[in-house]
Amino acid sequence: MSVVAVVGAGMMGSALAVALLDRGHSVRLVGTHLDSEIIDGLRASGRHKTLKLALPFAIRPYYERELEQALQDTELIALGVSSAGVRWACERLSDHVRPEVPIVMVAKGLAWDSKSLQILPDVFRDTLPISMRAAVEPVAIAGPCIAGELARRVPTSVVLTGRNPLTVNQVSAELAGPYYHVFPSSDPVGVEACAALKNAYAMGIAFGSGLHEKSGGQPGSVAMHNYEAAVFAQATFEMQQIVQILNGDPSSVVGLPGVGDLDVTCNGGRTGRFGHLLGLGVGLAEAIRRMSGATLECLEILEVLRSALPSLEEQGKLRPSSLPLLRHMIEVALDDAPVRVPFESFFSR
Amino acid sequence: MSVVAVVGAGMMGSALAVALLDRGHSVRLVGTHLDSEIIDGLRASGRHKTLKLALPFAIRPYYERELEQALQDTELIALGVSSAGVRWACERLSDHVRPEVPIVMVAKGLAWDSKSLQILPDVFRDTLPISMRAAVEPVAIAGPCIAGELARRVPTSVVLTGRNPLTVNQVSAELAGPYYHVFPSSDPVGVEACAALKNAYAMGIAFGSGLHEKSGGQPGSVAMHNYEAAVFAQATFEMQQIVQILNGDPSSVVGLPGVGDLDVTCNGGRTGRFGHLLGLGVGLAEAIRRMSGATLECLEILEVLRSALPSLEEQGKLRPSSLPLLRHMIEVALDDAPVRVPFESFFSR
């Protein structure tokens, strides 16, 4: 039993807080500057605004201005912020990070530094003051986890990974609970690449349901599932290629971080809705408008990959004909090209 | 352009007939003794009873008693029968099989001969008269294909595999058409194992939606998708292990025959409905009753694997603790045990 602070009171941070509480920890949930209304609601009634659920009262909510107090005597810090919040969190936390307090991240993404693709735990570490960098090795959670389900105690299986296996094993034991199954992984690069890529590929899989609706079809067991499944298969094939380019372990794709997370994201929500709209042919601007401000991680990762592709080709790590699905998704979701999945180019390196 | 006979006028054989016709072949569709009503309907109105669709009139329907006539001058024979029909087809066709006429199979399954697991193209060949065995190398189609979608010309991507690469390439070229994408594979064992196994694992993935309904939940984006996705991930992990035991290529799992077909089967129909009923807890007998006579390939393959497991363990190919999901599915679907997926045993060899 430890004192744990979850920083970021959005859906995923708050769901993790429930799992940590049920694991027996003392849990403090700290809103960022974007989460004030959520903390208001938790303080007033215990109800979480976006999870649409009453959280257990034992989870103690804090406003961002109370961060120092919330972090006092903390034995584990969980970062519940999304990829966009990682640099903010790093700056805000840099005075409080201590080598003996492990940091767990739920953010998913990759960053391009004009030379190579970086995983977010490394970005976080490299943003810390130089004196701290050697001592802090953040670990990261990946795998199929819809926050609304974890918060409702649906059995959930995730992977925990990081560059220090001792920390990974220690934190895995601190997280794993009755319905939260945590599998340690020694492949941070492969796992984190999968976590980022699955958002892009889930968007592409959802093209099929949009095309089906466009052609006048009704949802059901005869729709365009053959189309979607072929894209799903190519997605896993390309994810293995990308993981290999980054010197990760392609076997991470055949498990929770790859196919597991891809599967859940197809069932999940906004990424699928966005891909559906693109398949429906409403156009990129209108599709973004209809998502009414929802964060679209698929666009973030596609932007990163568009920046990275030419350089990876120059470095000889990639052929111009490789990753045809990824390239098509970039055209559709960033350049507003019509959906025309190049099946005939699939399954070739 | 060739003369092609499709033997078996069920949904998959008939859907293949449409794709072959659109590819430019002259197509004869031959019902088995079980397909008389389908042929009646096609002759009377062109409408296919189970596909619920009018087939193009250029597809010429034949009754089983007209098989000899239908096979005259045929340049390619497609076997549209299910696994249960393979031995029947072999006996019925043995007088007509010629080395220069390739045979394509759509049946999916594995057979246990008390020593090893056999793929169906090998079962077919070994059932032929001895004089023919050396000359005939059937090829097989696998991958994500809901027949009702292919028959409606939904873009569909499949794998063609067999023991003779020349035949595989030749037949791939004969099959591939504008919306039917055919990828040759030199891994018949891995591909055919995936094709059989995916039915069992899709059943296990569907446990989650049944459990969700049992707990009073409504379908939607917050359900038990985390649960289902973890089972999906373990399914691909175990499929790779089984393919390896059979000396197939585990990379076939990361593509159309594995994750692609698993994905489509989860969206598809009866296998998912059956797994849902088991998750709902209605009991095995009642679940089978509610499927009202539908063929349950998942039970066939689980029976085969239950027979095979002890021997594979004795041969040292498998540990008693390996494949925990498969073992649990056997308990649930063959021995009527309650669903209690052993997540804590996942992802370990």
Q: How far apart are CA A274 and CA A28, in angstroms?
A: 34
Residues of chain A in contact with residue B267, where contact means CB-CB under 8 angstroms, are: 221, 223, 225, 228-229
Measured between CA atoms, the residue of chain B closest to residue A52 is: B222
Ranges of H-type helices in B53-144: 67-71, 86-93, 120-127, 130-133
Number of alpha carbons in the 13 Å side-chain half-sphere of residue B3: 9
Q: Which 8-state DSSP code applies to residue A331?
A: H
Query: Which pLDDT band, with edges at 50, 70 and 90, does B230 fall under?
Result: very high
Query: Which pLDDT band, with edges at 50, 70 and 90, does B130 fall under?
Result: confident
Residue contact A229–B152, C-beta within 8 A: no
Q: How far apart are CA B301 and CA B203, in angstroms?
A: 11
Q: Are A70 and A80 in contact (CB under 8 A)?
A: no
Q: Are B46 and B55 in contact (CB under 8 A)?
A: yes
Q: What is the pLDDT of residue B330?
A: 98
Say which of B149, B226, B240 has its CB closest to residue A144. Answer: B226
User: Best residue in B159, B160, B226, B249 to probe A by mutation, most A CBs within 10 Å?
Assistant: B226
Q: What is the pLDDT of residues B89-102, one digit of tens each?
A: 888 898 888 888 99
Residues of chain B in contact with residue A347, where contact means CB-CB under 8 angstroms, are: 183, 255-256
Q: How far apart are CA A253 and CA A237, in angstroms?
A: 9
CA distances from A120 to A48, A326, B51 (A): 27, 21, 49
Give CA A85 to chain center in angstroms: 12
Say which of B155, B233, B263 has its CB closest to residue A232. Answer: B263
Query: Which pLDDT band, with edges at 50, 70 and 90, does B12 fall under?
Result: very high
| Min Cα–Cα distance to chain B from A133, Å | 32
Q: Higher-confidence residue: B129 or A253?
A: A253
Residue contact A146–B255, C-beta within 8 A: no
Is B338 exposed, middle or buried (CB count within 10 Å of its CB: 0-12, 13-18, 19+)? exposed
| Min Cα–Cα distance to chain A from B165, Å | 17
The single residue listed with the structure tokens 């499929």 is B239
Number of alpha carbons in the 13 Å side-chain half-sphere of residue A157: 26
Q: Considering only CA atoms, which of A70, A81, A69 is closest in space to residue A29? A: A70
Q: How far apart are CA B156 and CA A22, in angstroms?
A: 46
Residue contact A263–B233, C-beta within 8 A: yes
Is B251 exposed, middle or buried (CB count within 10 Å of its CB: 0-12, 13-18, 19+)? middle
CA distances from A112 to A109, A131, B26 (A): 10, 24, 54
Mean pLDDT, residues B252-280: 93
Residue contact B221–A254, C-beta within 8 A: no
Number of inter-chain CB pairs under 8 A, A vs B: 177
| Min Cα–Cα distance to chain A from B130, Å | 37
Q: Of how many residues is chain A composed?
A: 349
| pLDDT exceeds 90 at position B128 | no
User: Best residue in B263, B264, B270, B348 to probe A by mutation, most A CBs within 10 Å?
Assistant: B263
DSSP string for A82-150: -GGGHHHHHHHHTTT--TTS-EEE----EEE-SSSEEEHHHHHHHHS-HHHHTT---EEEESS--HHHH
Residues of chain A in contact with residue B237, where contact means CB-CB under 8 angstroms, are: 254-255
Residues of chain B in contact with residue A341, where contact means CB-CB under 8 angstroms, are: 155
Is A251 exposed, middle or buried (CB count within 10 Å of its CB: 0-12, 13-18, 19+)? middle
- From first CA to last CA, the distance across chain A in angstroms is 49
Ranges of H-type helices in chain A: 11-22, 36-45, 67-71, 86-93, 120-127, 130-133, 147-150, 165-175, 188-205, 207-214, 225-245, 261-268, 270-280, 284-290, 297-314, 324-335
Predicted-complex ipTM score: 0.97
| Min Cα–Cα distance to chain B from A252, Å | 10
Residue contact B226–A183, C-beta within 8 A: no
Residues of chain A in contact with residue B53, where contact means CB-CB under 8 angstroms, are: none
Residues paired with A47 in a beta bridge: A54
Residue contact B226–A152, C-beta within 8 A: no
Identity (one letter) of the amino acid at A269?
Answer: G
Residue contact A233–B146, C-beta within 8 A: no
Q: Are B173 and B190 in contact (CB under 8 A)?
A: no
Residue contact A181–B155, C-beta within 8 A: no
Q: Considering only CA atoms, which of A333, A139, A235 is closest in space to residue B144? A: A235
Measured between CA atoms, the residue of chain B closest to residue A348 is: B183
Q: How far apart are CA B79 and CA B107, in angstroms?
A: 8
Q: How far apart are CA A305 and CA A328, in angstroms?
A: 12
Helix, strand or coil, per DSSP, at residue A198: helix
Residues of chain B in contact with residue A255, where contact means CB-CB under 8 angstroms, are: 233-234, 236-237, 347
Query: Which pLDDT band, with edges at 50, 70 and 90, does B108 fall under?
Result: confident
Helix, strand or coil, per DSSP, at residue B305: helix
Q: How far apart are CA B21 and CA A68, in angstroms?
A: 72
Q: How far apart are CA B245 and CA B117, in angstroms?
A: 10
The single residue listed with the structure tokens 């090893």 is B116
| Min Cα–Cα distance to chain B from A182, Å | 9
The single residue listed with the structure tokens 């064992």 is B189
Identity (one letter) of the amino acid at A245?
Answer: I
Write the CB contacts of A162 (distance below 8 Å, at least 6 apart in sequence): A121, A137, A138, A139, A140, A168, A171, A188
B179 — alpha (psi -120 to 50), left (phi > 0) or beta?
Answer: alpha
Query: Which pLDDT band, with edges at 50, 70 and 90, does B187 fall under?
Result: very high
Q: What is the pLDDT of residue B30?
A: 97
Residue contact A267–B228, C-beta within 8 A: yes
Say which of A146, A157, A347 has its CB closest to residue B343. Answer: A157
Residue contact A157–B221, C-beta within 8 A: no
Say which of A264, A269, A344 has its CB closest to residue B229. Answer: A264
**What is the pTM assigned to this prediction?**
0.97
Q: What is the pLDDT of residue A23?
A: 97
| Min Cα–Cα distance to chain A from B346, Å | 9
The single residue listed with the structure tokens 């938790």 is A42
| pLDDT exceeds 80 at position B325 | yes
Q: Considering only CA atoms, which of A99, A76, A31 is closest in space to residue A174? A: A76
Measured between CA atoms, the residue of chain A closest to residue B239 is: A254
CA distances from B183 to A18, A107, A294, B19, B186 (A): 47, 37, 38, 15, 10
| Min Cα–Cα distance to chain B from A68, Å | 34
A52 — alpha (psi -120 to 50), left (phi > 0) or beta?
Answer: left
List, run by run, the mean pLDDT of 10-residue segments along chain A (349 residues). Answer: 96 97 98 96 97 97 97 96 85 87 92 91 89 88 97 98 96 97 98 97 97 92 94 98 96 97 88 96 97 90 96 94 97 98 95
Residues of chain A in contact with residue B269, where contact means CB-CB under 8 angstroms, are: 221
Q: How far apart are CA A88 and CA A110, in angstroms?
A: 16
Helix, strand or coil, per DSSP, at residue A276: helix
| Min Cα–Cα distance to chain A from B95, Å | 36
Percent pLDDT > 70 in chain B is 100
Residue contact A149–B225, C-beta within 8 A: yes
Helix, strand or coil, per DSSP, at residue B316: coil
Residues of chain B in contact with residue A152, where contact means CB-CB under 8 angstroms, are: 222
Parallel, antiparallel, or unpaired: how do β-strands B3-7 and B76-79 relate? Answer: parallel
Mean pLDDT, residues B241-257: 96
Q: Are A274 and A287 in contact (CB under 8 A)?
A: yes
| Min Cα–Cα distance to chain A from B44, Å | 25
For chain B, counts of helices (H) and of strands (E):
16, 12
Identity (one letter) of the amino acid at A47?
Answer: R
The single residue listed with the structure tokens 């009634």 is A45
Beta sheet of B60-62, edge-to-edge order: B60-62, B26-30, B3-7, B76-79, B103-105, B139-142, B156-162, B180-185
Beta sheet of A139-142, edge-to-edge order: A60-62, A26-30, A3-7, A76-79, A103-105, A139-142, A156-162, A180-185
User: Best residue in B179, B259, B346 to probe A by mutation, most A CBs within 10 Å?
Assistant: B259
Q: What is the pLDDT of residue A225?
A: 96
Residues of chain A in contact with residue B263, where contact means CB-CB under 8 angstroms, are: 225, 228-229, 232-233, 263
Q: Are B70 and B35 in contact (CB under 8 A)?
A: no
Q: What is the pLDDT of residue A56?
A: 97
Residues of chain B in contact with residue A221, where contact means CB-CB under 8 angstroms, are: 146, 148, 267-269
Residues of chain B in contact with residue A344, where contact means CB-CB under 8 angstroms, are: 181
